[in-house]
Structure formats: C-alpha cells, structure tokens
Amino acid sequence: MSIDPADEPAAVVVPAIDAPSSTACVRSLGKRGIHTVVVSEDEDAAAFRSRYAGETVVVPDPHEDLVAYKDALLSLAMRPDVLTILPVREEDVYVLAQYREAFEPHVETLWPTAEGLRRAQDRVELFDAAERAGVAVPDTNLLDEVADWDREWIVKGRYTLLADAYVDDLSPEQSRDPPSTQYLNGDRPDVETIRSRNGHTPIVQEFLPSTDEYAFFALYDEGEAVRTFQHRQVRAYNYAGGPSSFRESVSIPQLDEAGRALLDELEWHGVAMVEFLRDDETGEFELMEINPRLWSSLPFSVRAGADFPHDYWLLARGERDRVVDDYEVGTAGHLIRGEISYLHSVLFDAEELVERPVRREAFSAVAESLREYPRFDYLRLDDPRPFVRDALNALR
C-alpha cells in the first residue's frame, strides 16, 4: 500500500488496553490532528476518555476469541481512511503477524512476519539469536534439560504468549498469558507440576542478582533502525521486578550496541523493547527478553522526546526522513499506580531470592522522586479524564 504524503492525515487504529501506552498513542497522534480509532473490549478503557480519541469502537476480547478480534481489526483496516494499526500488546502483534497477508492490501504493515515474530515470542529462538549476535545471555535451558538443580534458577514461559502457533492444544481462537516468573532456591522442583502449570515446557534461567535493569527501545524499518531510546528502571510494580513504575532516560553506548545487535540479527521490522540486566561487576548487559510491540512505559518515552507513535505514523506515511532520532537524557517519570503497587509489595510481599527493601527507605525514596520528578504517565492537566478513569478501574 502506498500513501501520498500530500494527502490529508490518515486514521490510525489504537487498541486501548489496561496500560498507559494506549493513552500515550492517542495523545501523541490526536494532538497533531491525526484521527485515532480507539478500540477495546472494555467500554471503560482509560484511552476511551481522552479528549484526543477521535472515535471509540468496542471489539471482541482477544483473550476470549483471537479470530473474532482479528476480524474486527481487519474490518477497520479495510476502511479507506485507515493508514495503519499500532500493536500495544502481545495479542495485537500476534494476530497482525499471523494474518499479515490479509492486512497487507489495506494498511501499512509495520510489524514482523509470523516467522519473524516467533523469533521474539519464543525465548528459545530469541536467546539463540542473541548468541549469534554476540549479545550476552544468562544460562538458559528448557525445564526438562536442566541437570544441576543446586543453583538458583527462575522459571519463565518459553513463549510470551500461549497461542495456536506455539502450543499444540490451543485452537486459533484461544490464547493465554504464561504464568508469572517462578523463583527456585536450589531445590529440585516437581518438573511435571511446573510443566502442567505452564501448559507447555517452559525455560529455566540462572538467577541474576542485579537491581540494574535497562531497556533499549527502537522503531525499525526492514532491518534498519529509525528511532531509538534507552531508560534505566529505578523501580517496578514489585520490588523483585516487573513493569517499571519509575524510570530515567539514559544514553549508554554499550546498551545501544547490544540492542541494535540483537534487532539487526532478527532483521526486525516495527517497534520493540529489549530488556537487559547489567552485571554489577563487569558492566555487561545480559538479555532478559524482548517485547515486540509498544511498551507500558511509552508515555515516559514520549515525554523525554522519543515520540514513537508519531514516528510510527511518519514511517507508515513514507516520511522516514522526518524522524529525528534524539531525546532528552537524564529525565525521569512515574506511573502512580505502579508506585502504589511497588509500596504494597514492600509492605506485604516476600519474594524468594530477592531481599525486600527497608520499608522506611522505600517510602522515602518514592516520596523524594515524586517531588523531584513530577512527570506522570497518565496524569496531565490538559487531558485529565484518562487518569481518573484508570484510577477508578484500578479500584474496581
């Protein structure tokens, strides 16, 4: 599909999910006069309340029927005013990649092929690609291949999304999220129980005792980087890890090198977030995983000057030369709901292998950073309703 840049701005489909990324997309595009078609299975989605939402459409829940969700997206893609679709969750990029040929005649397909996506959503293939690219990886095995259980391990799903293309006992309509990460403290686990709980044979990785988590973000065009960004995760939803609740923008050449090397090896197309842990002793960045879609901390990327939704739109328009690959280093920002979750975990959770922070110090650190860096993912005075709706949804 070719777009004449002289034409009026085309519409963009934005899935509205329970994460700030959707609202960030709607704000970025809508404030520029780009029509956003905001879709969700939840009529109370926070992005539906944004003043920048051009129109809202209720669609089938992809967790209940992936094929029906795909059909709804395809129906919107066939509208003559729709230019492209932004993938903001694993289910989005999965259906877009699996049915790429159906979408290609109608919209700009700025996402990988099904084969390319598998190399990102299948952690076995991902870590093989990382090793070929010279990117450091933790010791990783399939669960039933581990011989030494005396070490500290973590168990993760082999796939970031359980769906028909990856798991034999699921139909095309079905999908499931893999279970959360499980920590093993050196005792031999019940392998069959873990396999049953995961619904497939998961991977086991060596536990890396580091608190320095970093991410490399990029928009790629057929294997070439168009826009990049980096941040350091200061705090997460849980003191043991998870999505970021407070982060700061950084620019580290070694992180840039590792992120590019992996995405170059994958011949990536579209957006991606590559997560690393930094070894405290060597300074080396070790790969954790890749999110082959837009990420929950996207509002912070945009506020720091890396406006991925707009750059995605420019690339879809054939205006790659207008993308300026630059951002502000040293800024920081919060997801308030995430900070509350972090403090809750400090008060009540007890994670194996990860020492809980001192409660007084944790609360003091959150308060100080809120004072010093009053930048927030949802809360904006010019568009307050998504913040209110998200707070109500969280309470619900």
Provide the pLDDT confidence category of residue 345 given band limits of 50, 70 and 90.
very high
pLDDT in tens, 169-184: 999 999 999 998 888 8
* Distance from C-alpha of 98 to C-alpha of 113, rounded to nearest angstrom: 7
Res. 2 pLDDT band, cuts 50 70 90:
very low
pLDDT, tens digit, for every residue of 209-267? 766 799 999 999 999 999 999 999 998 888 888 888 999 999 999 999 999 999 999 99
Q: Cα separation of 127 and 309, whole Å?
A: 28
Q: Which residue has the higher pLDDT, 55 or 354?
A: 55
Of the candidates 159, 163, 175, the one whose C-alpha atom is nearest the C-alpha of residue 124 is 159
DSSP state for residue 9 in the 8-state scheme:
P
Q: What pLDDT, on a 0 to 100 scale, did the predictor assign at position 4?
A: 46
* Domains of the chain in sequence order: 11-115 (3.40.50.20), 139-206 (no CATH), 213-395 (3.30.470.20)
Q: DSSP of 24-91, one letter per residue?
A: HHHHHHHTTT--EEEEES-TT-GGGG-TT--EEEE---TTT-HHHHHHHHHHHHTSTTEEEE---SHH
127 or 391, greater pLDDT: 127
